[in-house]
Structure 1
């Protein structure tokens, strides 16, 4: 029997294609890796700065706001021994451990910042004659038996107090005081303070055995009740308040029952500092729920059963977390605008990569279809071919985001990377299936000039236009910072860019036709040929144009956001300081000659002396505080003009006979009316007449003020404030020139304080990165668009070169051929970006993003977007320059090579 011939095995499609075009596969893998990394990293970056911001808010807040306080007073009708036992240190410590163990998740106590013990409810007076006695009365003391004194302080003199066998009926007890308390109140180790009790038992003698220095006084152990570490002045009530001293005596925990002998009342307390370590932004709702449960919910009920029946809770933690949640709610939608823009451009670029591959392999796929290849089978082969580089690259990009930004929830990142993988894998098969679903004649034209839009395309464009209008109206009405992230509102700038791109694509053939007419009459062929080539560009030109316009709109919008934030911070810092620097007197007046010394400091251009009085009376019965500002009109007018803040003409303020001319804030002007009014101050009264109204003035950024000529004061007074201008004012030099008691404020320092919060700085950085990434994808879209037609252009130049086209003409031909589309994209992108900013600006309030929770100035007004010329023009010019540069480089490379190879290869071209 004759041997049967061996059957040839068909080469595997995927392996063959990857070996044939490894460069294209590698480029696709790199694009998928980069896009996957960005898609996975964005939600993780948002979670990172939000989580850091939450921890920063908890750790940087003053303990009065961040510490959770619980307290329980002994029951009045209980047995005396039970009342004493309720305050003893061992019992309070045991209850502290029960409270910490019963905290609802994710709330955890920071042991170092927490404190517990017993204390009197109201300060107790001491009548020792050696204690300082102010006009308001004798010195009073808070008596506290807070546990942990030995580990939270350093002994400076004497020894720490001992409890001994102290009980409610004891007449003597030992205590410690801090260094500051000892210095101010004249206490030393061995001193005895006698605290008043009812007359039948006589005073309680408290012997101070030691003086201690607090360690880390900023923690809640010392700072929740600041008097524990330093005495303070209290004031009597009444028409003339008078001061008296308030100090603290620190008893050992086991001596707490002696507090029951004082008439001030007593209670056990537990102050829990929140441990921010490990908290993330996703824990914020559960954290707020835990705090609410402790304040008035199930957790408090459970602690009442296990700790004390009358357990009370008090904390500012709920307000702190609520304000932080409001900040996230305000910033999140603004950041989402940038994310939608970059995500849309990235998706378009991925689709363009698939379109580029499908166009380059059009002949191959057409041949495959003509030989019986089914549409699903061809699409399946292309899907398998693309999946080999895309899926591993997407997985690597996602894993890289997980490694660089650990700890965030995985689901959003996985969804983002999955979307990249889906688009990257589906772009080529779908584009090829659409292009080859029906046969095309060899000479059939499908360019942007001749091809008419289909009905389905018209419906899709109309739908997008309606969505863009709805999104713009929703953003203007609801705002981008008024609630949770709304997809339609956040996508408003992108939809406006898409609508502009579709409009430009519709109008694109018209200028080409109009320009082609005069070019046809010119002698040179380059102009007409370049316009004809631009008009013969495929109708799929809409995709790169769409990518360019969306990218440019996103970059312009992002740049305007950053410019609006920077402008708001500049204005807010100016309102806070009044000039480039300010010197404020510690007392009532600045030293004589200080203004002259300050003018000699390096960087100071001018120093304007101002007198501010806070106790004036407009004699209209209104109790609102009004600040009188007395100035030299000429110098202050120059200052107002230099700062661009409340400018006026010096002649309007110069004192003359009769009522003093004055500049007032709107509310003060309304109170004084149009005629002359009398103003009273401690040194006398005078008459004023409001000649101009200003929202603010350098010496008073926010609030009610009345600005007059200092020469019109009833009694001349020394200035209390210096306002200093100079772009390079030296902080150390300025502080060296003024007395140590005076306060020096720098506008640069105030400006920097607005970016201290991780939320604001992180969101601003993320927005800047988003804008830069969008611009990068725009450049990539230009490159892909040029690469798509590179083989055809190379062959065209080779043919034209054989017919006498010079190298210079060849280069100009390629540059001018790409110029209409790129110029249209650049000009259209700048125009659409400007239109998007104008349309959407009233709905985007950037105050929370700009001012970092530092408070708002009424004079600042809403912080809206503003069109930034650089953000509009530079990206557009960059796109045109890149397109022209790539075209010139391609022409140079083509003309440097010989034309023989190009003419012999590829008959179909």
Structure 2
């Protein structure tokens, strides 16, 4: 018989298998691509945030005596070609070509004093593409040096002011063999925010450097010269630095070539050392390696959580595919048994049945795999491997099951009469699995986890222990649940109603196929609940971190003072509900140089402002004098003598770990708002904590003094809008929903698989007078116990996994550096998942009995029954 005909006859079951295969392949193929995209986005965001001056590759060369031999743009380019030729391929792919992006060449003098002053330094420098980066607003661009006068251009910000530059003025620079320079032009940058200028800020602004013990600051500025003046600078006695800047394009850096870039940086540094002249090395100046290594720690945690979720999803998807395969093969059993009885070979029977599964799974798997490419992101091996496992599992399960079921003609068996006794080999294997799972969990808790994920990969204990624990819990559930159920059956047999006894007896004698639904339901529930617990804990901690960083819905601070009129104007701004003033300062502790952070605030008013927030603020300090709450490192001091607006003595009355929005970790103290008034001076308010949803621009306008405004919304957005954080939250949501759906599908499919046996049993009982209501109750009692017990075990395992995997799920980098505590979960979502699964099972049983009630006994019972 052709497989296509069998598939058409059993189109419903085949369609279910195809849909489940397609969805599974789409999920396990698309989710890793989305994960990879988020990894790359997060890395590129970190690179851009670090700035071009930090991540670009800059080869610096400072000649120490003698002529460097580089006196023209062309000679600079020759060396640029040499350096790029020595660059490993992994670096060459991520740097921009010469003259593109932030790639450029430069020559700058260093610490060149101006004649006639000891605090002013005028350096000169050349930029290879500086003419394309500036607009000359006065005068003209510098030209070649002639008559021993070097022409320079200065930024508009350097004209006048402390340096006193003026168009047309000449200056003498250099301690020995001074050079005359003349200002011939004034420029402005075309785009001051361009990353190009991160390397060349000294051309745009005057730098002030205060030396210890000096009365005045030293002023430094670098003026722009033309390439034609390079020989004059080369032949002088100036200290100069040559630089070849090879800009890194963040968009070309990805996490898949992560370690290759790190290795290439080491190789390039070694190559530069080998080609360096004597006593004047070529130095690679970049923090790219430090930025990448810092990102590695954040990435390792994200990969741990996401691949843990992906592994659980894959295991459940494979189980559901196997369960749907069993549904199809059971529908094929009558036909294949007839073929076997008529002389069909076991190989032919197995091939025919497996071909039907192939018709359902292979096209669906290809479609799901193809659809996964619609998800943006990089391709990793798991993108190809995981979708392939789904149809292969279904085909292997179908082949093994049919070869076993039809090894003898008309090999009919009943598994509902007596529970089969497990073999000694199977019991030994199950005990081994349980022992390994418990041992692995103990090892994770005792020895910790491998932290060098970039070189060693994910710790196998972290990836395998959850699977082993789930399998162990499923095996224990399957072995142990009949025993308490038999006790209930014995109690039910003592009563007169027959329905409880019959329903619970059938549940206690469940066929062997019940193993597969449990092996699906339990990991699905456990991982879904684990994901919901982690997600809830992460969301809660992110909210707390944002409150601790902001201190209030809106916090305003100034270096001056908010007078009474300013505070009153701010209170009148639309959206402002409450304003709590405060005074902050950095004060002298004792009579030495030790400093203390301090804030004077009405803590009772602050507590009222933050009453709807997760902040846990202490009660106000009370007592004589000036009571204070102090940081932990000051708790043992009986008195604190400080100099603020006047000398005052604080009396520690309690300990506080931080002041949200202001202090954390350093020495600090919190005192009553009128502390300075108690010491005989007035309170100068320089901070405002505001409750409400007011416009920031309106607040700063009302203050009429320069203010720094921090809002809870800004802090919260900065935490949650990180690409890795967004991906973790999205993956937790997707996996929770997918696993919950798979759990429901497993319940429904298991009901359908057992439908024929249950219908036959109910039909027999109907001939004995079983009513429709009794049939419904009997069905519910039959299917509910295992579902309820599995749901409870899955709930407990899901809640216990965060504690079992504690060392491996440090999510603090995604929650404002606050530790996420998943061991104190919100139980609402986990309980809803478990209850929802049980309700679906009961509803499915009721629907099933309603459908079978319409069937006549003659359509179910055979002649002779």
- The TM-score with structure 2 as length reference comes to 0.90
Q: CA deviation at 1:298?
A: 2.5
Report the alpha carbon displacement of residue 825 of structure 1 after superposing the two structures with TM: 2.2
Q: Which residue of 1 aligns with 2:489?
A: 516
Cα distance, 1:480 vs. partner? 6.0
**1:344 alignment counterpart:** 315
Counterpart CA distance in 2 for 1:326 and 1:87 is 45
The structure-2 alpha-carbon separation of the partners of 1:733 and 1:539, relative to structure 1 and needing over 3 Å to count, comes to: farther
- Among candidates 708, 724, 745, match of residue 690 of structure 2: 724
- Tell me how far 1:119 sits from its aligned partner: 0.3
Q: Specify the alignment match of 2:706 in structure 1.
A: 741
Q: Aligned pair in 2 of structure 1 residues 153, 384: CA closer, same or farther (>3 Å)?
A: same
1:692 CA displacement: 0.9
- 1:255 Cα deviation from its structure 2 partner: 1.5
Counterpart mapping for 1:632-671 below 5 A: 632-639=602-609, 643-645=613-615, 647-650=617-620, 652-653=621-622, 656-657=624-625, 660-670=626-636
Q: Aligned to 1:868, what secondary structure does the other structure show?
A: coil
The whole-number CA distance in structure 2 between the counterparts of 1:568 and 1:644 is 9
Residue number among 47, 52, 68 corresponding to 1:58 in the alignment: 47
Quote the offset at 1:123 in angstroms. Answer: 4.9
Counterpart selection for 1:613 from 569, 572, 585: 585
2:379 is aligned to 408
| 1:679 aligned residue | 642
Bigger mean CA offset, 309-318 vs 509-518 = 509-518
Task: Single out whichever of 816-825 and 258-267 deviates more from structure 2.
Answer: 258-267
Deviation string for 1:246-274 (max 9, x for gaps)? 33311122223333577651121112220
Q: For the Cα contact (< 8 Å) 1:582–1:723, is it kept in 2?
A: yes
Partner of 2:738: 773
Contact 2:155 2:205 survives alignment (8 Å): yes
User: How many Å separate the matches in 1 of 2:589 and 2:153?
Assistant: 47
Q: Which of residues 558, 562, 565 is equivalent to 2:538?
A: 565
Matched, 1:550 2:535: no
Aligned equivalents of 1:512, 1:763: Cα separation in 2: 41
Find the residue that maps to 1:537 and give its secondary structure: coil
Going from structure 1 to structure 2, the CA distance change for 1:386 and 1:692 (only over 3 Å counts) comes to same
Q: Deviations over 1:290-343 (max 9, x none)?
A: 222223x125535x48x9963222111110111122222232222221112111
When residues 802 and 602 of structure 1 are mapped into structure 2, their CA distance, relative to the original with a 3 A threshold, is: farther
* 2:158 equivalent among 171, 181, 201: 181
> Per-residue CA shift, 1:700-759, capped at 9, x if unaligned?
244221112243334323122112334x45545544543462011011211111234323
Question: In the aligned structure 2, how far is the partner of 1:478 from the partner of 1:159?
Answer: 69
SS in 2 for 1:145: strand
Note the C-alpha offset of 1:192. 2.0
Is the CA contact 2:585–2:599 (under 8 Å) kept in the aligned structure 1?
Answer: yes
After superposition, the Cα gap between the structure-2 partners of 1:696 and 1:639, relative to the gap in structure 1 and judged at 3 Å, is: farther
The answer for the alignment partner of 2:254 in structure 1 is: 280
The yes-or-no answer on 1:822 pairing with 2:787 is yes
Query: Are residue 141 (structure 1) and residue 135 (structure 2) matched?
Result: no
State the 1:458 CA deviation. Answer: 1.5
- Separation in structure 1 between the aligned mates of residue 483 and residue 125 of structure 2, nearest angstrom: 86
Q: Secondary structure at the match of 2:659?
A: coil
Cα gap change, 1:902 to 1:440, in 2 (>3 Å) = closer
1:690 alignment partner, SS class: strand
Q: CA contact under 8 A between 2:106 and 2:243: conserved in structure 1?
A: yes
Distance (Å, rounded) in 2 between the aligned partners of 1:416 and 1:704 = 53
| 1:172 corresponding residue in structure 2 | 149
Q: Is the 8 A contact 1:127 1:196 kept in 2?
A: no
Instruction: Describe the SS at the equivalent of 2:433.
Output: helix
Q: Is the 8 A contact 1:347 1:423 kept in 2?
A: yes
Alignment-derived partner of residue 190 in structure 1 = 167
Could you tell me how far apart the structure 1 residues matched to 2:721 and 2:112 are?
38
Could you tell me which residue of structure 1 aligns to residue 674 of structure 2? 711
Structure 1 residue 530 corresponds to structure 2 residue 516 = no
User: Is 1:160 matched with 2:141?
Assistant: yes
Does structure 1 residue 257 correspond to structure 2 residue 238? no
2:801 corresponding residue in structure 1: 836
Conserved 8 A contact 2:95-2:247: yes
| Structure 1, 830-839 or 551-560: larger mean CA deviation | 830-839
Is the partner of 1:124 in helix, strand or coil?
Answer: coil
Relative distance call for 1:643 and 1:148 in structure 2 (3 A) is: same
The corresponding residue for 2:190 is 214
Structure 2 counterpart of 1:131: none
Deviations along 1:607-634, one digit per CA (max 9) or x if unpaired, are 2222111132245x685x5302222343
Distance in 1, matches of 2:572 and 2:467, equals 54
Distance 1:98 1:264, change over 3 A: same
Query: Which has the higher mean CA deviation after the structures are superposed, 607-616 or 85-94?
Result: 85-94
The 2-side partners of 1:25 and 1:898 are apart by 24
Contact 1:188 1:211 in 2 (8 A): no
Q: Provide Cα deviations, 1:790-849, integer angstroms capped at 9, x if missing partner.
A: 233344445555554444444444334322222222222212222223333354211234
Matched, 1:886 2:861: no
Quote the offset at 1:96 in angstroms. Answer: 2.6
- Residue ranges of structure 2 left out of the alignment (5+ in a row): none
In structure 1, the partner of 2:199 is 224
SS at structure 2 position matched to 1:106: helix
Give 2:210's aligned residue. Answer: 235
State the distance in 2 between where 1:680 and 1:29 align.
77
Q: 1:137-168: CA deviations, max 9, x gaps?
A: 74433321112122122333332222x255xx
2:663 equivalent to 1:700: yes
1:121 matched to 2:90? The reply is no
By how many angstroms is 1:891 displaced? 2.8
Match of 1:328 among 284, 289, 299: 299
RMSD: 3.2
Shift of 1:120: 0.9
What's the secondary structure of 1:217's corresponding residue? coil
Q: Tell me the residue number matched to 2:568.
A: 596
Q: Number of residues paired by the alignment?
A: 852
1:467 to 433, 436, 440: 436
User: CA offset at residue 661 of structure 1?
Assistant: 2.0
Segments of structure 1 that go 5 or more residues without pairing to the other structure are 1-10, 129-136
Q: Does 1:496 align with 2:476?
A: no
Q: Secondary structure at 2:458's aligned position in 1?
A: coil
Task: Write the distance in 2 (CA, Å) between the matches of 1:790 and 1:908.
Answer: 21
Contact 1:581 1:724 in 2 (8 A): yes
Note the C-alpha offset of 1:175.
2.3
TM-score by length of 1: 0.86
Deviation of 1:436 after TM superposition, in Å, equals: 4.6
Displacement of 1:637: 4.8
Judged with a 3 Å threshold, the aligned counterparts in structure 2 of structure 1 residues 834 and 793 are, in CA distance, closer, same or farther, namely: same
Matched, 1:874 2:832: yes
Match of 2:284 in 1: 313
The match for 2:79 is 95
Deviation at 1:583, TM superposition (A): 0.6
Change (3 A) 1:246 1:591: farther
